[in-house]
Amino acid sequence: MDGYRAATGHTIMLSSRPRSFATCHLQKRFSSLRHRARGDDAGYDAYEAQVYRVVNFARALSPDELDRDDKLAIAAAFHDLAAFDTLDYLVPSIQAQDAWLQQTGRENWCDELALVVAEHHRLSGYGATRPHAPLVEAVRRADLIDVSQGLIRFGLPRSYVREVRATFDAGVFFQRVIPQGALRAVRKMQQPGFLRPGNALVRSGHDGADR
């Protein structure tokens, strides 16, 4: 990934043009997923910005392990993908991610990255002894940092959080895409699936991945 070093010493990643196969193809995948926004290009651009925020915060919060950056980039790209259609978006987001992983020969990452997506709205900590805890917890914290607008930082410098959020403008995603999804959910009486990680794992074919 390309990036620059912020004053805090953390590297801000500017794109998903990466060093290895998975993230190299992620940039192309972003383009191929744009149809999921149903013509809302501004909304999709804002979602992509939110993905980069999550990747940056999660990298700063997680140990530098084998394939970490690829896994973070992929899970972040898919974590809220189906929010353009429904508030019950965890299951279709995980299913889309599974399909991409299978197409690129990474079936062995499916359970781990399904967990990352399913658990990313959890307010309480994901236990350190649970499966795939480092990545799951890093993305959970990263998303919460962004959603809280930096009020919650999990030890990251305030200046770094501000710089990342200023670099990537995700305003349209939070101010229009998500509220519109909430209105659709009320009208269609959709279940708030984004708040039910265990249910999402079962419904997406990953029952037991969190045990």
Residue type, 85: D
Within a domain: 63: yes
Q: Average pLDDT, stretch 16-43?
A: 68
Residue 41, pLDDT > 60, answer yes
Residue pLDDT, tens place only, 7-17 = 455 666 654 43
Mean pLDDT of 124-142: 96
* CA atoms of 109 and 176, how far apart (whole Å): 32
Domain carrying residue 114: 3-203
Residue 23 pLDDT exceeds 60? no
Is 79 a member of any domain?
A: yes
Answer yes or no: is 211 within a domain.
Answer: no
Of 71-80, 111-120, 124-133, 168-177, the poorest mean pLDDT is in 168-177
Quick check: is 210 in a domain?
Answer: no
Q: pLDDT value at position 162?
A: 95
E strand or H helix at 173: none
Decide if pLDDT at 64 tops 70. yes
The whole-number pLDDT of residue 176 equals 87
Average pLDDT, integer, range 154-168? 94
For residue 15, give both structure tokens: 């794109």
The per-residue pLDDT of the chain, averaged, comes to 86
pLDDT value at 5 more than 90: no
- Which carries the bigger pLDDT value, residue 13 or residue 202? 202
Residue 3 three-state SS: strand
> What's the pLDDT band for 59 if we cut at 50, 70, 90?
very high
Mapped onto helix, strand or coil, the DSSP state of residue 108 is helix
Range scoring the smallest mean pLDDT among 26-30, 143-147, 177-181, 187-191: 26-30
pLDDT tens for each residue of 79-98? 999 989 888 899 999 999 99
* Structural contact between residues 139 and 58, judged by C-beta atoms closer than 8 angstroms: yes
Strands 3-5 and 11-13: antiparallel
| 84 found inside a domain | yes
Q: What is the mean pLDDT of residues 96-101?
A: 94
Domain-located, residue 140: yes
> Considering its fold, how many domains does the chain have in total?
1
Residue 208 lies in a domain: no
Backbone angles phi, psi at 164, to 5 degrees: -65, -45
Among the residue ranges 34-43, 67-76, 77-86, 189-198, the one predicted with the least confidence is: 189-198
For residues 79 and 33, the answer to whether their CB atoms sit within 8 Å is no
